[in-house]
Amino acid sequence: MRNHYKQGFNRKQQLLLPPSLDEYVDENNGVRAIDSYVEILDLRKLEFKNLSKKSNDGQPAYHPKLLLKIYIYGYLNKIRSSRNLEKEIKRNIELMWLTQGLSPSYKTIANFRKENSQALKKVFKEFVLLCKDVQLIEGKLIAIDGAFLRANASKNSLIMKKNALKDLEFLDERIEKYLTLLDTTDKEDANSSDDATLPTKIEKLQEKKKKLEEDLALLEKLGKNQYNTTDPDASLMVKPAHNLVAFNSQIAVDDRHKFIVDSHVTTKGNDFEQLHNMSNRCKEILEVEGLEVVADAGYYSVVEIKKCIDDNIIPIVPHADKHKAQKDKGKFSRDRFIYDAISDCYLCPNEQHIKRTASLQIKNGKLLYNYRGASKICKACSIREKCLPQNTPYKQIFRWEHEHITEEHTKRMQTEEAKAIIKKRGSIVEHPFGTIKRSLGWDHFLVRGREKVSGENALIMFSYNFKRLLNLIGISLFQKLVIAVKNGNIEAIKEEIAQHIASYLQNRLYIFKIFVNCWFGGMKFMYISK
């Protein structure tokens, strides 16, 4: 029976002409693209550390290009741990080919990532500029989004001021209760087993209290409301389903082919202050005079919108209806009060003027003008119950000094063009995060500290862009692109890349149409059958 099946080599048989390692890796293997791209990088210009030819123990050092190749391969293939990379180097044919038989230890691999955060960010930027040079990044519409990505730290090592104060109050009550119990207990009962353990209980509670007081003193010294002892830069971030100790990873994605233009790591658990920062960074990277930026309602901030407009960036950001609760109660919302720029006053729903006063207010860094209705008129108003609480004598409205920018933005969001862009946003910016989490297997950071986390973040964003480019143009055309970059003749390859991508997208559209036709045809057949 055995002779009916294909037989392999006898493992102990010596071959006269054994195959070379290169024969095990075909020409269309992505590992060849990694090797050729890293070889054209100038690591001194990118400021990689440890470029010396000798290691600390006097032996020849591993070339930084070798370690960079290992990490790119690892992140593209869901192998991010330095220990797992060390194992794979000794058993994975592709990595054996990539490393040419060299096998650095896990510590050498880990130190390279840890010590080259800034350089890894520059590698990511270098690749973005390459994609821009071959016109794969258009720079007209950029979509921004953020995701909470778990830090290499536990919630158990988190100190929170609010929780510490609450626990301290509870401990004080318990200690006071036990001390009172000791003072009022009869000598006859003092020898009972329960009362004998009271001093021990009090001592343990006092130790806990001392620890909490030390934690609060640390928070006071740092000027923070929370602090993680494992990773001081990580923060507790709140999601609807759960809370996690994480970093907020921001990305800006170009509309044309879904390439990530920029990425930034912040420790803040919201996106309110990220719109202008991310938009302006993209503008500088792409070297454009202006661009459109779309983001979700979490980025809505009138201050950030003004900054964008001042820098010739058009923000497309919807805002939640903050007055819905008032409307549901049958009350007048803010938008029912119409501002008259000529007379500089508001007209209320009862057609009464609410005039500006000399009073000013500064709130959240914004200068607000105060507009106030006449108390006599407001008290006698026939629709007062829809406008004011019972004990409030007059209507009061605060207007930001740049309120006209907010009003213009609101009008822009109501246009069909803006609505179409907002609807399109998810398909642009949520695609990369989906690919990173599912295809590249990224669920948490492996390093600690914002600086090192930024480096790892840049490495994963580079891996996404690299994978995206290979999917679009293929290995052979990528190899031609690398040769063109090396020879300084990138213009010669632009047209071929454009034609290849046009053909690629056309084929995908054709396949999609066939699928849709088959699906509808099947549905029609089922309907007729019924």
Verify that 283 and 428 share a domain, yes or no: yes
Give DSSP secondary structure letters for 194-250.
Answer: HHHTHHHHHHHHHHHHHHHHHHHHHHHHHT-SEEESS-TT-EEEE-SS-EEEEEEEE
Q: Is residue 174 part of a domain?
A: yes
Same domain, 65 and 198: no
Contact 115, 49 (CB under 8 A): yes
If asked whether residues 165 and 292 sit together in one domain, one would say no
Same domain, 61 and 165: no
Query: How many domains does the chain contain in total?
Result: 5
Domain-embedded: residue 449: no
Same domain, 110 and 72: yes
Residue 216 inside a domain? The answer is yes
| Parent domain of 60 | 20-134+457-489
pLDDT of 274: 94
Q: How many CB atoms lie within 10 A of CB 339?
A: 16
Q: What's the pLDDT at 448?
A: 92
pLDDT for the residue numbered 135 = 92
Q: 390 and 474 share a domain? A: no
Q: Strand, helix or coil at 367? A: strand
In a domain, 451, yes or no: no
Residue 448 domain-assigned (yes or no) = no
Would you say residue 450 lies in a domain?
no
Domain boundary among 199, 228, 257: 228
Residues 31 and 120 in one domain: yes
Q: Are residues 185 and 116 part of one domain?
A: no
Of 201, 228, 255, which marks where a domain is finished? 228
The verdict on 386 and 509 lying in the same domain is no
- Answer yes or no: do 87 and 76 share one domain: yes
The answer as to whether 334 is a domain residue is yes
Query: Is residue 333 assigned to a domain?
Result: yes
> What tens-digit pLDDT sequence spans the chain (530 residues)?
456 777 777 878 777 776 788 888 999 999 999 999 999 999 999 999 876 555 555 678 899 999 999 999 999 999 999 999 999 999 999 999 999 989 999 999 999 999 999 999 999 999 999 999 999 999 999 999 999 999 998 888 888 888 888 888 888 888 877 777 777 764 445 455 555 677 777 788 888 888 888 888 888 888 888 888 888 888 888 877 678 899 999 999 999 999 999 999 999 988 989 999 999 999 999 999 989 999 999 999 999 999 999 999 999 999 877 777 777 788 888 888 999 989 999 999 998 999 999 989 998 888 999 999 998 899 889 898 889 988 888 999 999 999 999 889 999 999 999 999 999 999 999 889 989 988 888 888 999 999 999 999 999 999 999 999 999 999 999 999 999 999 988 888 988 998 888 887 777 665 656 666 665 555 554 555 55
Give the pLDDT confidence score for residue 1 in this predicted structure: 46
Cα 445 to Cα 262: distance, rounded to the nearest angstrom: 18
For the beta sheet containing 353-363, the strands, ordered from the edge strand earlier in sequence to the opposite edge, are 338-340, 345-347, 353-363, 366-372, 396-400
The predicted-structure confidence for 235-256, as pLDDT tens digits, reads as follows 888 877 678 899 999 999 999 9
| Domain identity same for 164 and 98 | no
Residues 376 and 251 in one domain: no
Using the 3D structure, point to which of 166, 193, 228 is the last residue of a domain.
228
